[in-house]
């Protein structure tokens, strides 16, 4: 993480951002029913938008830009960066990128989905190395939040309390298990590159398949059970599907903070040069050995 300038311990100044996302995520979860229909517009990545995508995005924008340390807001659902109103805002040191609903296609099937938060201390689009915190909230049987900040990963259960959201710590210093057990790969077999497919044919004989269509739910299984998640570059789309600013960088930061590795196929996701807000990147995250092998396979 960036050590370019001294600042208050990031928990103190970033905690308000994390808590705001936690509390807003509970509101989003409770508001999903009745918002499962598709809107007419598409998002900047050319994907259909659910009413829930747009509604969640508006909630996060409003509440995060009201925080004085937040300078700007970007999300999967809007083309440009929204700058905070300078007069109302204080030091404006953090730039927030959000995926307001990751895995929204799982809403119709009532499968797990959630929210991704990336907090950078440099203007967007930013390098993953400039993340000061990253997190995801999972709408599963429980509502949980995984947060990487100041070198460690913590898992919380989120519940409504009398004073707003209660973040109950359930796992501290979360690290990937040494022994991997699961894998999950996006895209379709005919669209995989030959080198990636050769890697899959090895891994599928060693691990169990777990793929659910929401990256953060699949990544959370890698965090808990060990293994590898990838949405690789495809023959038709060499940069794959996932976006660097609010999908690749935050999950790369979380997995690397938990002792694993991330890769775009050649290097850590956190070292991929930022070019555009909606730039796509091949995402591979998991146990170090499995990612090392993947890079060797793609270097074929
Ligand atoms: P989003 O709902 O924010 O667009 O993200 C969906 C992404 C990611 O969560 C998941 O890994 C991937 O899309 C699943 O893609 P496929 O439907 O092609 O499997
Ligand atoms: Mn997403
Ligand atoms: Mn999304």
Q: What is the pLDDT of residues 207-261, one digit of tens each?
A: 999 999 999 999 999 999 999 999 999 999 999 999 999 999 999 999 999 999 9
Ligand nearest to the CA of 214: 1
Whole-angstrom distance, CA of residue 246 vs CA of residue 166: 25
Contact 272, 128 (CB under 8 A): yes
Give the number of other CB atoms < 10 A from CB of residue 222: 27
Any ligand 1 atom below 6 A from CB of 136: no
Q: Specify the ligand 1 atom closest to the Cα of 116.
A: 3
Burial 225-255 (b: 16+ CB within 10 A, else e): bbbbbbbbbbeeeeebbbbbbbbbbbbbbbb
Is the C-beta atom of 53 inside 6 A of ligand 1? Answer: no
pLDDT: is 128 or 90 the higher one? 128
pTM, full prediction: 0.94
In contact, 176 and 221? CB cutoff 8 Å = no
> Does residue 45 line the site of ligand 1, with CB under 6 A?
no
Q: How far is the CA of 101 from the centre of ligand 3 (A)?
A: 4
Write down the pLDDT at residue 4.
Answer: 38
**Sequence ranges of the chain with CATH classification 3.30.540.10:** 12-171
Q: Where are the beta strands (DSSP E) in 128-207?
A: 131-139, 143-149, 152-161, 164-171, 182-185
The domain made up of 182-299 has a fold known as D-Maltodextrin-Binding Protein; domain 2 (3.40.190)
pLDDT band at 152 (very low <50, low <70, confident <90, very high): very high
- DSSP H/E element including 254: helix 249-257
pLDDT band of residue 40 (cuts 50, 70, 90) is confident
Task: Give the distance, in angstroms, between the CA of residue 155 and the centroid of all CA atoms in the same chain.
Answer: 15
Give the pLDDT score at 87: 62
Q: Which residue shows structure tokens 């050769």? A: 198
Counting ligands in written order, which one lies closest to the CA of residue 216? 1
Numbered ranges of CATH 3.40.190.80 in the chain: 182-299
| Yes or no: domain 12-171 corresponds to CATH 3.30.540.10 | yes
Weakest-pLDDT range from 45-59, 117-131, 285-299: 45-59
Between these two residues, 6 and 60, which has the higher pLDDT value?
60
Report how far ligand 1's centroid is from the alpha carbon of 241 (Å).
8
Residue 6 has pLDDT above 80, yes or no: no
What residues pack around ion ligand 2 (CB closer than 5 A)?
A: 99, 102
């Amino acid at each position: 993480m960036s050590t370019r300038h001294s600042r208050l311990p990031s928990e103190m100044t970033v905690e308000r951002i994390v808590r705001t996302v936690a509390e807003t995520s509970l509101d989003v979860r409770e508001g999903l029913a009745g918002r499962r229909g598709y809107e007419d517009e598409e998002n900047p990545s050319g994907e259909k938008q659910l009413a829930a995508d747009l509604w969640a995005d508006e909630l996060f924008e409003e509440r995060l830009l009201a925080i004085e340390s937040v300078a700007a807001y970007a999300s999967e659902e809007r083309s440009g960066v929204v700058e905070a109103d300078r007069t109302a805002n204080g030091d404006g040191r953090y730039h927030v990128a959000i995926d307001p609903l990751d895995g929204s296609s799982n809403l119709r099937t009532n499968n797990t989905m959630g929210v991704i938060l990336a907090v950078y201390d440099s203007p967007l689009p930013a390098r993953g190395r400039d993340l000061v915190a990253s997190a995801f909230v999972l709408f599963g049987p429980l509502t949980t939040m995984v947060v990487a900040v100041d070198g460690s990963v913590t898992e919380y259960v989120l519940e409504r309390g009398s004073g707003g959201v209660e973040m109950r710590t359930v796992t501290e210093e979360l690290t990937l298990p040494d022994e991997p057990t699961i894998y999950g790969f996006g895209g379709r077999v005919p669209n995989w590159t030959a080198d990636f497919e050769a890697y899959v044919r090895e891994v599928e004989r060693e691990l169990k398949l777990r793929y659910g269509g929401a990256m953060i739910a699949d990544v959370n299984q890698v965090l808990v059970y060990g293994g590898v998640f990838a949405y690789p570059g495809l023959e038709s789309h060499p940069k794959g599907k996932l976006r660097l600013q609010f999908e690749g960088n935050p999950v790369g930061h979380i997995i690397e903070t938990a002792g694993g590795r991330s890769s775009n196929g050649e290097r850590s996701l956190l070292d991929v040069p930022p070019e555009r807000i909606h730039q796509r990147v091949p995402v591979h995250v998991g146990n170090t050995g499995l990612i090392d092998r993947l890079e060797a396979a793609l270097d074929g």
